[in-house]
Structure 1
Amino acid sequence: MFNKTTTFVLFTIYILNLTIAFSDEVSIPAKKSEEAIREEIRWLQAESIITIATRHETSIDKAPSVATVITARQIKQMGFRTLADILKIVPGYDVSMDENGTRNIAVRGGTFRNSERVRVLIDGHPVNDPYWGGAMNNFYDMIVENIKRIEVVRGPGSALFGKNAFFGVINIVTKDTEDIDGFQWTGSGGSFDTQNYNMLFAKEYDDIKISGFFDWIDTEGFSRKVEQDNFSPPSLSMSPGRSQNEREKTDLNLKLSYKNLEIKAKYMKRRREGYIGISGSLTDESDLKDTYWFAELIYKNLSLTDKLNMTPKVYYDRYDFDYFHESRPQGFQAATPVPGFFIPYPNGISGLTALTLNTLGFEDQFDYDLFDGNRLTFGFQYEWLHQHNARSAAFNVDVTNNFFPISPVRDFSRNAPFIRDKATRQIWSLYAQDEWNITDNIDLTVGVRYDHFTRFEGTTNPRVGLVWRFMDDAYMKLLFATAFRAPNFREMFLQNNPLILGNSNLDPEKINTYEFQVGYNFTKHISGSMNFFFNRTRDLIVLVPEPGTGAALKYQNSSGTRIMGSEVEVRAGFGGDNYAYANYTYQDAEDTRDRDRVLLIPQHKANFGVNIGVTKYVNANLHSFVSGRRPREISSTRKDMPSYALVNCALIGKNFMDNFEVRGSVQNLFDKDYDDPSGSVPSNHPQQGRSFMVELRFEF
C-alpha cells in the first residue's frame, strides 16, 4: 500500500530481526580509546536516567512511570529539526497542525489537539502559558541544537507537578558546562528559504558556571494548495489557494551558577503567519507576534541536617501576544437570510487581539532520608497568575452591531473586549512522596498532591508505583495515578466572540490511569519493553452550541472517554553509533456517553529506524514513521483520513577536520502527499513534501 515506503519499513524490520537473531555473534572492537569509552558511557547514562519521574535522578527501569529519554546524540543522528519532530517518535504521542500552523500534541488516544493536557518543563521550569494552557504554541518549533536530552513521562503527573500534567510530562534539558567547554557555532539552510544560526557557549571558572545559547531562524515555510475551506463562493474566500507559513524567531537562554545557587533565564520573540487562518478561512495577511520570557532563582540541596535538604526557588514568567488576524479576505460577502442577497465587505474582515499574562511563583522542596533505602520528598508551591492589558480592535466591521461593515478601524477594548481583562488566579499546593526500596529488587513509590484554586474547589491527586525486578535483566511495573487539568484563561474568560464563548463556571478535567509494564534485556545488545494502559477521563471541556446565540459555541464540562492501549519498544545496540530501534502504539478510545470512537486519532502508530556508524568519518540514519487511519464521526460526509508513512534520512560527516561536522537531512524522502486533520476545513491541512537541510557545526 505504501510502495517505496513500505519497502523501507519491511527492510528495517528485517534488519531488526537479523540483529536479534545474530546478536550473540556480533563483536564490539576490543580496543577503544579512553576518550571513546568515556563518551559511550556518558551517552548510555543519558539514555537511562530521568529526573521528572520522582523529582530526582532515577534510572528508567526503576522509575515509577512509563518513560522515554531522547538524547542529543539521537537528536543529531536522526536529523530532527524541531521539538515537534522529536515528539513524533515517542510511543503514544501524535503531533498535528492547526489552522494557525501550531503543532499540537495528542497523547494516548486523547483528542487530536490537547497540548494543554501535557505539562512541559525547560530545565525543570514549567512553561505552559495561562492563556492556551499548553506550551506547544510557543515551543513546538524550538530548535533542537541546544537540547541535551528530552525526558518524557507517558501517564499522569499531577501528583508531582499539578495542573496540566494530565496525559504526561515533558522535561527539556538544555546543554551546559558538562556538554561543551567554549563555543559551538552552527549554521544551516535548506528548503523554503530557511536559514538558521545558533551560538552555544559554556564555561566553568572554579565554582562559577555559565552556559547558554542564542538562536535565530527565518523561513518562508512550506506552502501547499488548499482546495476548499469553510467559505466557498459566493462568500468569496481565497480558496482554492496556497497556505501561508512564514516565521521568524529569536531564542536566548542563560544558566549561571555559583556553587548551589543558580539563575535560569530565557527570552523568546517570534513573528509568524497564519497557516490557513482564523475560523478556517484561507487568508494571506495574518501576522501573529509572541514574546515570552522567564527568570528563575533556585538554591539546590541546601543542607539543613545530615538527612534533610531543602531546594527553594522563586520564578517569574511573562507572555505577551499581539495577533493581527485577517479572518475574511478582501471581497468577502456575508450571506443573509434573504436568498441571493449578500452583505459586501470590500476590505474584508480583520481584527487585532493582544494580551499580557504574568506568573509569579514560589516553591520549596524538602528531601528527607528517613532510613537507609527510604526517601521522603515533600513541599509546597504558590502561583499567582494574572492577565491584563487586553486590547482588541476590529478592521472594517462593527463588533457591537451584528458585525456590519464600518470605517476601517475601531478599538473595542473598552466596550467589547475579546476577553475579560485583569483576571487573576491563585494556586496553593502541597505535595508529598515516599520512595521506599523495600528489598534489593522491589521499590514502592507513594505520592499525593493537593492543589487549591481561587475559582473552583481544590483537587487531590494520588499515585502509587510498584517496581519489581523479578529476575535478572527483567523488571515489572504496576502503576496507578490520577490527574487533573485546570481550565485555561481562554476557556474561562473569552467573550464578545460570534463563534466561541468562555465559561467562568468550568470545573477541572479529571483522569484515572492504570498501567502495567514489563521490560527485558534479551541479550547484552537487545532490550525491549511492553506496557498496557487504561485511562478513564471525565468532565472534559468541550465546545457545545449555546442556546440563543445563533452559531456561537460555549465551553462546557461534558462526558469523558475510556482509552485503552499498549506500547511496545525494541532497541538493538552494538556499541558506538550502531543501533536499530522500533516502537508500536495501539490505542482504542471511545466516548463514555455515546461509545463512539474519539475522532481523528490513529488506532495504530509505529516508528522504525536504523543508525550506522559507517566509518569514523560518516554516520547514516534512516527512520520511518507510520500512522494508521484516523476516523471521522459516523454521521460525517467526509471520508476517514487515510493511513500514511514517512521516511526521513540523515548523513553526518565528522572527524575529517578538527572540531568540525557537516550534516545533511531529508524529511519525507519519498515526497508522500498527506494531510493533518482539521475539525472544520474540508480539505484538511496539507503537509510538506520532501525537504532538505544542510548544517555546518564548528567548535572552538
Structure 2
Amino acid sequence: MMQFRVLSLVLAFVWLPTAHAELVEEVIVAEDFLGDFYGGEEMIELATGIKTQIHKAPAVASVFNAEQIKQMGATDIDDVLEAIPGLHVSRDSNSYLPVYSFRGIRSRYNSQVLMLVNGVPITNNFTGNRNQVWGGMPVEAISRIEVMRGPGSAIYGADAFAGVINIITKNTDDIQSNQVGLRAGSYNTKDAWLALAGSNGELRYSAILEHHKTDGLERDEKYPAQPFSLMTTNTDFRGEVSYTDWIFRLGYQLRDDNGNGAGIVEAPDLASRQKSQRINFDLNYAKNVTDNLELNAQLAYFQTSQRVKNQYILYPAGITLPNNLVTGDMSGGGVHFPNGFIGNPEVWEKHKRLNITANYTGFSSHAVRVGAGYYNGDLYRVRETKNFEIQQDGSLLAYPEVIDVSDTELVFLKETDRDNYYIYLQDVWSFANDWELTAGIRHDDYSDFGSTTNPRLALVWATSLNLTTKLLYGKAFRAPSFADRGNINNPASLGNPNIQPETIESSELVFDYHPLDGVGMVVNFYQYSWNDIIQFSPTSGVIGLVAQNLGKQSAYGSELEFNWTPTRNFKLSMNYAWSKAENKTNNTDVALVPQQQWFAQADWQMTDALRLNFKNHLVQNRLRETGDDREQIDDYWLSDLTLRWMPKNSNFETRLIVKNVFDADVREPSFISGAGINIINDLPQAGRSFLGEVRYQF
C-alpha cells in the first residue's frame, strides 16, 4: 500500500504543468530557489569527477557538510551514514565491523562498497573491505561526506559496486579558527581533538589530531552470559598543505589495543587485542591550461596493516575438536588443546596510484573528461603463528606450543600483488534546452584476473522550474580479494585462482521535485541484477569449500526523501526506503537486510544560543537465513537527541548527546556458523548512553 501511494504521488508530479521559462529573470529565480533549498555547499563531485549541483548530478546522491554532521550529534561516520535512504549500517560479529548494506546488497566482508578519502580508495586487497581492524572513523577532520547509491565503476573502477562513500577532509577554508575539544561519557569514552590552520601568502596549511578511547559494550545486558570485547584506542591525524596549483595531503590512523567483538570465530575471547596502522598521502596538481582545458594529476600512496597484538584464542582452553574438521570424526576422543585453539593471521599491504585526467569544454554543448592511470596493490608481508595444522584432507593436528609458520607452506595466504592499468572517457552532452546526457565508459586491465569494461548512461531533464527527472543506467564490478583467490590451509574456505569479478547491472528512474520555497522531495525507483557472486561451495575432488562464481541476486525498490523548512528556525527531514531483494539461486527473499527503513530528523533553533536535534530510525522486516529456525529478527526504533549550546560572543561551545534515548533493545543478526549458531541472541547494540562535549576556539 505504501509503495502504491508513493507511485501515485510521483505520477501526479509528472503530469503537473511543465511550461519552460522564457525570461532570464525566471531562470535566475529558479537557480536561487534551488540554491536556498540545497544550501550553497550542496555541490557533489562524486557523480562525475566534476563539481555539479546535486539536483543536476547524473546519480542518486546525498551530501552532509561539517555543520550538519555536528548538529546531528555524530561522533563517527556511521552516525551519518545511517541517515542515507536505502543504506543500513549493520554489524559483523568479528570486531563489530560496520557492514554498509546498500539496497539489500550485503556480504560478510562488505567488499561491494567503495570508500574513498579525498577521492582515493582505502580498500584492502586481503578481504576486499576497508580493514578487518577498522576501529571506526571520527568526524572532526571531515569537511563533507558524499554518498552515491548505485554502480560507479565507470568512474572509480573496482568495488564501486553497490555504492560509493567519499570522505573529504578539512582544509584551511574549513578551519576558520583554531580549536580544541574534549568529550566524555558512557562506556568510559574519552575523546580529544586539536584543529589548527593558517596561511602565508599562497602557502596554506591545516592539521587535525584526534584521539578516541572507549571500553565499548562489554556484555549483553539482556543475556549477561555472553561477553563482548569492543574496546578501542584510536589516534587519527589529517594534514594538508597547498601552494598555488599543488595540494599535498597526509593521513595517519593508529588502531591500538582494540577488542575483537564477539570473537573471531564467534567464541568469547576477552583477552585478545588487535592493532592496525594506516598511512596515506596524495600529491595533487591542477592547472587551467586554457579557458577550455583543465589538467589534473594525482600520485597517491596507502600503507595498511592488520595485526594481532595479543594472540587470538579462537576456542577456549581445554577445547576438544574433531580429528577431521570436514568429516567431524571424533574417534579416539578428538584433538585436545589445553591452552586453547590459537591462530594469529597478520597482513601488511601497500598501494600505489597514479591518475591523470583532462577536462575539455571547447566543443559546442559538450564537456569531455578523459583519464588514465596505474595502480599496484602489494600484499608484501604475511605472518602467522598458531598451535595447530589443518591438512589437505581436513585432518587436525595439535602443536604443543604456538609456532611461527610465516614463509612456510603452512601459512594461510601467500604474499602476492596485482597491477591495474585503466582508461576512461566521459562526455556530458547538453543536446537540447533542459536536456543533458552523460555517457561514460572505463576499461580496467588486471594482472591477476584479466580485464573488464563498464559503461554508464544518465539522462537528466529539467522538466520544469521545480522538477528534474533522471534516467540512469550503469554497470560495475567487484574485484576478487586475495583471500578469494589465494586462501590455503583452510578447508573451510579455499581460494580459487580462476575466480572472476562479481558484476552488477542497474537502472533507475528519479524525480527531484520542489513545489514550494522550503519544501522538496526526491523519489526514485531502481532495479538491479547482481551476478557471479563469489561464494564458497563444495567442489568435486577437493576437500572443503572453494571460492566460486555461483550466486545471483536481483532486486527492485524505491526511496523517498522529503525536506521541509517551515521557518528559518526549524527543519524537518524524512526518508523512507523499500527494497525487495531475491536470491535467484534458491528463489528466496534475501536474508539479514531490512526490507523497509524509515528515518526522520527534526532540527530546531530554540533560542539564539540553544539548538536541538532529534533523529529517529526505524528498521523493519529482516529475515533469517535459510536453515535458521530462530524467531524472526525484531524490528527496532532508535532515537538520538543532541542539545547544542552556542552563546554569542563566546569562544566556547558545548553539546549534550544522548544516543538510544528510550533504551531500545537493538540487535543486528548473527550468522549461521558451520552447522550451528554460536550467538543465539544476535548482536546487541549499545543501550542508552550519554556524551558531554566542550569546544574552545582560539
TM-score of the pair, normalised by structure 2: 0.89
- Aligned partners of 1:633, 1:616: CA distance in 2, in Å? 51
3-state secondary structure, aligned to 1:84: helix
Deviation at 1:284, TM superposition (A): 1.4
Alignment of 1:216-231 (within 5 A): 216-225=211-220
Distance, in Å, in 1 between the alignment partners of 2:519 and 2:109 is 34
The reply on whether 1:679 has 2:681 as its aligned counterpart is no
Q: What is the Cα deviation at residue 202 of structure 1?
A: 1.7
Q: Aligned-pair distance for 1:408?
A: 2.2
Give, as a single letter, the amino acid of the residue that structure 2 aligns with 1:688: A
The residue identity in structure 2 corresponding to 1:381 is G
Contact residue 187 and residue 696 of structure 1 kept, 8 A: yes
Whole-angstrom CA distance in 2 between matches of 1:575 and 1:363? 46
CA distance 1:43–1:533, shift in 2 (3 Å): closer
Q: Does 1:615 align with 2:607?
A: yes
> How do 1:296-315 residues align onto structure 2 when only pairs under 5 Å count?
296-300=282-286, 302-315=287-300
Letter in 1 for 2:85: P
Aligned with residue 421 of structure 1, among 414, 430, 438: 414
- Kindly provide the CA deviation profile for residues 546-594 of structure 1, in whole angstroms up to 9, marking residues without a partner as x: 55666x4322111311110000000112465520010000000011222
| Residues 487-511 of structure 1, C-alpha deviations (whole Å, 9 max, x = no match) | 1112111211242222221100111
Alignment partner, residue 655 of structure 2: 663
Further displaced range: 454-463 or 495-504:
495-504
Residue 456 of structure 1 aligns to which amino acid in structure 2? F
Q: What are structure 1's unaligned runs of at least 5 residues?
A: 1-39, 229-238
Change (3 A) 1:121 1:138: farther
AA matched with 1:192: Y
Distance of 1:273 and 1:558 partners within structure 2: 34
Hey, what does 2:489 align to over in structure 1? 496
Q: Is the 8 A contact 1:47 1:70 kept in 2?
A: no
Deviation at 1:227, TM superposition (A): 8.9
Correspondence for 1:115 among 110, 129, 145: 110
Residue of structure 1 equivalent to 2:15: none
| 1:629 and 2:621 are equivalent in the alignment | yes
Corresponding residue to 2:178 among 162, 179, 183: 183
Corresponding position: 1:203 with 2:224: no
1:295 to 2:281 alignment: yes
Q: How far 1:91 moved relative to its partner? A: 0.7
- 2:692 maps to 694
Aligned counterpart for 2:233 among listed residues 232, 237, 248: 248
The equivalent position to 2:92 in structure 1, one of 82, 95, 98, is 98
Show the counterpart of 2:44.
Answer: 50
| SS in structure 2 of the partner of residue 160 of structure 1 | helix
Residue 666 and residue 77 in structure 1: after superposition, are their counterparts in 2 closer, same or farther (change >3 A)?
A: same
- Summarize the Cα distance change of 1:496–1:221 in structure 2 as closer, same or farther, 3 Å threshold: same
CA displacement 1:644-678 (0-9 Å, x = unmatched)? 11111100011255121100111111111121112
Q: Aligned AA for 2:320? A: Q
> 2: CA distance between counterparts of 1:571 and 1:59?
17
How is 1:422-571 mapped onto 2 (pairs within 5 angstroms)?
Answer: 422-546=415-539, 552-571=544-563
The letter of the residue matching 2:167 is I
Preserved contact between residue 112 and residue 601 of structure 1 (Cα < 8 Å):
no
- Give 2:353's aligned residue: 361
Distance in 2 separating the partners of 1:645 and 1:500:
37
- The residue that corresponds to 2:270 in the other structure is 284
Q: 1:488 to 1:339 in 2, by over 3 A?
A: closer
C-alpha distance after superposition, 1:604-652 (max 9, x if no partner): 0110111100001100011100000211134431222121111111000
What do the CA deviations read for 1:360-390 (whole angstroms, capped 9, x no partner)? 1111001111335421000101001111221
Deviation readout 1:64-105 (Å, 9 max, x if unpaired): 001111122221111111111211110111111112221111
1:260 equivalent in alignment to 2:260: no
SS at match of 1:74: helix
Match of 1:13 in 2: none
Distance 2:36 2:201 in 1: 23
> Is the 2:293–2:362 contact (alpha carbons within 8 Å) kept by the matching residues of 1?
no
**2:279–2:302 CA contact under 8 A, matched in 1:** yes
Aligned pairs, how many? 649
Q: Which has the higher contact order (CA 8 A, sep 6+)?
A: 1
- The reply to whether residue 648 of structure 1 matches residue 633 of structure 2 is no
- What is the root-mean-square deviation in Å for CA atoms of aligned residues? 2.2
Q: Which among 59, 68, 77 is matched to residue 62 of structure 2? A: 68
Unaligned runs of 5+ in 2: 1-33, 324-328, 673-678
Residues of 1 paired with 2:622 and 2:582: CA distance? 13
Q: Specify the SS of the correspondent of 1:584.
A: strand
Given residue 171 of structure 1, which amino acid in structure 2 is its aligned partner?
N
Q: Is contact 2:618-2:636 (8 Å) kept?
A: yes
CA separation of 1:47 and 1:298: change in aligned 2, threshold 3 A: closer
- Residue pair 2:134, 2:255 contacting (<8 A) in 1 also: no
Of 455-464 and 110-119, deviating more is 110-119
CA contact (8 A) 2:353 2:373 kept: yes
Deviations 1:463-517 (CA, angstroms, capped at 9, x unpaired): 1111111112111000101111111112111211242222221100111100000
> Do the aligned residues in 2 keep the contact of 1:96 with 1:113 (CA within 8 Å)?
no
Question: Which residue in the other structure is 2:76 paired with?
Answer: 82
Give 1:200's aligned amino acid.
A
In 2, Cα distance between the equivalents of 1:185 and 1:138? 28
Quote the offset at 1:356 in angstroms. Answer: 1.3
Alignment correspondent of 2:136: 141
Using the TM superposition, name which of 405-414 and 450-459 deviates more.
405-414
Measured in 1, the distance between the counterparts of 2:131 and 2:365 equals: 38
Contact 1:43 1:73 in 2 (8 A): no
Classify 1:311/1:252 alpha carbon distance in 2 versus 1 (closer, same or farther; 3 Å): same
Closer, same or farther in 2 for the Cα pair 1:112/1:87, shift >3 Å? Answer: farther
Offset, 1:402 = 3.9
Is the partner of 1:559 in helix, strand or coil?
strand
CA distance in 2, matches of 1:695, 1:46: 28
Percent identical among aligned pairs is 30
Query: 2:236 is paired with a residue of what secondary structure?
Result: strand
Q: Cα distance 1:410–1:136, how it changes in 2: closer, same or farther (>3 A)?
A: closer
Cα–Cα, structure 1 residues 476 and 43, in superposed 2: closer, same or farther, change >3 Å?
Answer: closer
Distance 1:342 1:417 in 2: 22
Please list the CA deviations of residues 428-465 of structure 1 after superposition, one character each: whole Å capped at 9, or x if unmatched: 10000001223341111110000011122211111111
> How many Å separate the matches in 2 of 1:332 and 1:605?
42
